[in-house]
A and B are shown apart, each in its own frame.
Chain A
């Protein structure tokens, strides 16, 4: 078994594009769920909106890349408003169902044949990331970080932008959650009526939270699209949202760095296990499963991990048990 390969892949994944994407998605969810107590099960829709905004603007309409970014941010705001207006006055579980439904609507619309000309159907859209990579300051080549891991210049560029976005988002959340604004959100998470009785417009704050988390989710969508130079509708399924929840809870909800650490550990572990198993199967150490069965196993472990986390350590790695939203009712 090639232990170096296993560990280098794991570390690469822990700081790689997947980790960045899920960190951003989970930071958004942290604003919704961790701080405000909103059960948004449609985070995938915000990622899809971000990713498709760039792809459609550049590839379908031939407009500039940064216009696509702007449109993506704008559409994320619009989507949050559309989701929030009907549901934020209702019970928490309604928001869950409406957001999950909305995410499916977005996915089904962009994969539809009727709109294939615009969204590319099930194949999605390619060829929109040239101007992004045109800005790449890294000369072509392989960049080794430490002794065992390395990325090519394109990945380096995506990762640089991605981690800068992660850092910036965390900093903004840090400022907000230290402020009276964040205090109102945390109060809403606990008891809306109490907050209302103190003269705060709860609906408005929930909406602001939904918009902020959604916009951060669309950033994840940008990185998702750019890192693959392609978008496909089925990447934005409900499972993406659920994995983002796993990442969030693993790291610790209502903690600034919770989603970031959660994402790094999630991907490093996932790849460690799957590469380890593949290697074990290939080298004949494990004989009772095939390489094809390694994929399902790693997702089974995700599910199992989520169950065990919630039962035995709902506060995650970083969280403070006294301050999580999970049992606030």
Chain B
């Protein structure tokens, strides 16, 4: 079975290669922010727009031209705050949502990001304008944005799902809520970086890292978690131990790789391509393809292979599974190996979209938890569905709430869902007493 896992990951590596080489790579001439200001179809000129980085340090200013267009180049990919100076708006024109004069946006490598400010006529009209009076061009812009956000949400949801499936399987088979799962993503990403900086192309480094991670996952259970289980360590103890492990690993990465973001050697900057209303980089499309294939493969493996069925049996009732001849320890070890490998893959794919930092895993950990809990604790398919919902919700919610609040929305929904349906969306109701 171990061989099977390795073969499986090798297959995935090959897949990356195939998919990636089929798209032509192009280096962009730089990242930037741009937009067009229109009010009822008419361009609005002379409006001051300023951009600041995450630490509020100003980057540059611009003023819209006669076509209402503005453009501000930024030094590197990252998060920026774009502010529209409301005092520079012409008489009778105002922001539709006055609290959205500053937008926080993510700029990816090679991406010229479009930033939208919705304007409306009349100073007072802002508060209750919900878009019903939108002109055709505004509404088509709106739907473009919906499509773009939906795409980004799907992309985010798939990465979360990749991490969450492993998290959920480990929870299901061992009862461990693994707070160090985010660090498994980070670890995979950094292992790939080590191979990558040693001179291997990312297409070789990535599958290698996945295989190494599978080995680490196996070893982690063989010599750590498995030993703790044998010692009859309680699940709460194990949960807190995983917190300790997470802290240790996170700062180990900081120690080894430093605090600033590190990119891979390849595919750093790609020019986005437009597909219908959606604007995406080829690498993000490839990443999504890989994610979908892997998730389907995991699902099929769970449903139809012997080890998959055994895994589900163990998750359902370990004692019963053991008494019916399933080697529970072996199943758990394979789950750890596979879960870590998939997490590593998720980390690498995430690392391709953004820079690698020691905190990248921590940043998605809560979203993975949200996905797992939404879907129903311990059900792998629930984790998948839950993660996709979380990803989509996070991105689409920026239609109504400021982007910086999108995680707040997702977490709030998680809490509300738990109140209404504590077993999660696909979970089974538990018996009490």
Contacts and interface: CB of A to CB of B under 8 A. Distances in A.
Nearest to B180: A303
Contact of A102 (B100, B248, B249, B415): B415
Interface string A3-23: 000000000000000000000
B422 A90 contact: yes
Given A123-B56, A311-B241, A242 B402 contact: no
- Name the residue in B102, B236, B245, B407 with the highest tally of chain A Cβ atoms < 10 Å from its Cβ: B236
Contact of B252 (A85, A122, A242, A296): A296
B240 interface: yes
B245 A307 contact: yes
A306 interface: yes
Interface stretch (B110-118, B208-216, B303-311, B369-377): B369-377
Given A98-B415, A104-B366, A114 B405 contact: yes
A326 B236 CA distance: 6
Contacts of B366: 100-101, 104
A114 B99 contact: yes
Interface string B33-56: 000000000000000000000111
B407 A104 contact: yes
Given A98-B418, A306-B243, A311 B233 contact: yes
B56 A122 contact: yes
Contacts of B55: 122
B247 interface: yes
B177 A96 contact: yes
B102 to A, nearest CB: 5
A327 to B, nearest CB: 3
Contacts of B395: none
A108 interface: yes
Nearest to B177: A93
Interface string A78-104: 000000011100111110111011101
A102 B366 CA distance: 11
Q: In which size bucket is the chain B interface?
A: 35 or more
A227 to B, nearest CB: 24
Q: In which size bucket is the chain A interface?
A: 35 or more
Contacts of B249: 303
Contacts of B124: none
Contacts of B228: 311
A105 interface: yes
- Name the residue in B246, B377, B415 with the highest tally of chain A Cβ atoms < 10 Å from its Cβ: B415
A242 B243 CA distance: 7
A300 B404 contact: no
Nearest to A237: B362
B283 interface: no
A193 interface: yes
A299 interface: yes
Contact of A310 (B241, B252, B415): B241
A14 B131 CA distance: 58
A91 B247 CA distance: 25
B235 A310 contact: no
Interface of A: 39, 85-87, 90-94, 96-98, 100-102, 104-105, 108-109, 111-114, 121-123, 193, 239, 242, 245-246, 249, 293, 295-297, 299-300, 302-307, 309-311, 314, 325-329
11 contacts: A101-B369, A104-B407, A108-B408, A111-B404, A113-B404, A245-B243, A297-B251, A304-B244, A306-B244, A326-B237, A327-B237
Interface of B: 54-56, 81, 99-100, 102, 104, 177, 228, 231-237, 239-241, 243-252, 254-255, 366, 369-370, 373, 377, 402, 404-405, 407-408, 411-412, 414-415, 418-419, 422, 430, 433
